Amino acid sequence: MVKNITLQLLISMMMIFMLTSAFVLVVIYINKGKPEKRDKLYEINTARDGLVQTMAYYLVKPILESALDRYIEKHGLTEYLEEIMQQEKEENSINFYEITEGSGSKAFCGQEVLLQMYKISNNTLALPNQASDVTLKIGQDNQKELSLGVVGMREGGERVVTIHNIANDNKMNFNSYYIKLIEVKDKYPDSVNNLMIFNDLVNRTGKQVKCGDEISIKYSVMGHNGEYMIKNQTVQFKVGDKKVPLAIKLGVVGMRAGNNRTIISPPALLNVTDNMLIKDMDFDEENVSIIHLSLDSKQETASHH
């Protein structure tokens, strides 16, 4: 009697196992034949190296995606996630590969630079006699994206700059350029390398300020003793133009709307000239100054091409 019951239990368990396995295999086969959607607002990282991972990929992943899709729709997160994805695409639109470091002056936003440049075709690197001389102003020319790839290079340095563009069919295409920085024509003071920037990241979304964008920013300037020399003033300018002191021009690059920054600036970077929009900056000419910057959370940076 006991043997019969045990045998029946074993047979039942085997049938359940075989039916479950068959069901799992059918589900995997059906999902495997479906084209994978690429328009998801998120990504679930999975591998398919073994049997268990393959089962998880085709069986568990669709369940998780369905649950996430319902959660996103229920809580109205679609627009937010689309904004994040677009932001990532824009911030990753310019990449570079360093070939030679260089040892001369460093290139910054707004400077005029002399380059040797060559557009790379079919992953073929430029030969020296194929590269042509080009003069660009970083962030200000019609080749803005390409010029932004020069930022941070030193004279004598070489790099490959890749620019990603989103086509009309929402597909990504790219162009690559070989660039050698020959000369930085309008050099900044050496103390620009001592500019110290501290972020207060209130908002991690929104467009980053790039060289060439037009922005409006609120600023305050304190002496090294903590006393305000200027407080809560606002200035609107195109980043890279010589309309504000260097410390502010370079200090805003990379800020996001709603964020604050504190900058410790050497005196040479706060010089005010007659053609600047800021006229009332009475700073300490011997000691560092402390600058507080604030970018309005409702502000959209305007890019000019």
- Averaged over 57-84, what is the pLDDT? 72
| Portion of the chain with pLDDT greater than 90, in percent | 23
Query: Is there a contact between 165 and 93 (Cβ–Cβ < 8 Å)?
Result: yes
Tokens of residue 166, six digits: 């989103």
Buried b (16+ CB within 10 A) or exposed e, 189-207: eeebeebebeeeeeeeebb
Q: Does residue 82 lie in a domain region?
A: no
- Averaged over 64-74, what is the pLDDT? 77
Q: Does residue 304 lie in a domain region?
A: no
Please give the model's pTM, rounded to 2 decimal places. Answer: 0.68
29 and 103 inside one domain: no
The single residue listed with the structure tokens 């809560």 is: 232
197 and 166 inside one domain: no
Domain that holds residue 276: 190-295
Domain count, the chain: 3
pLDDT band at 127 (very low <50, low <70, confident <90, very high): low
CB-neighbour burial class of residue 123 (10 A; exposed 0-12, middle 13-18, buried 19+): exposed
pLDDT band at 281 (very low <50, low <70, confident <90, very high): low
Q: Give me the pLDDT at residue 224, please.
A: 85
| Beta strands at 196-200 and 214-222: parallel, antiparallel or unpaired | unpaired
- For the beta carbon of residue 212, count every other beta carbon within 10 angstroms: 26
Q: Does residue 300 lie in a domain region?
A: no
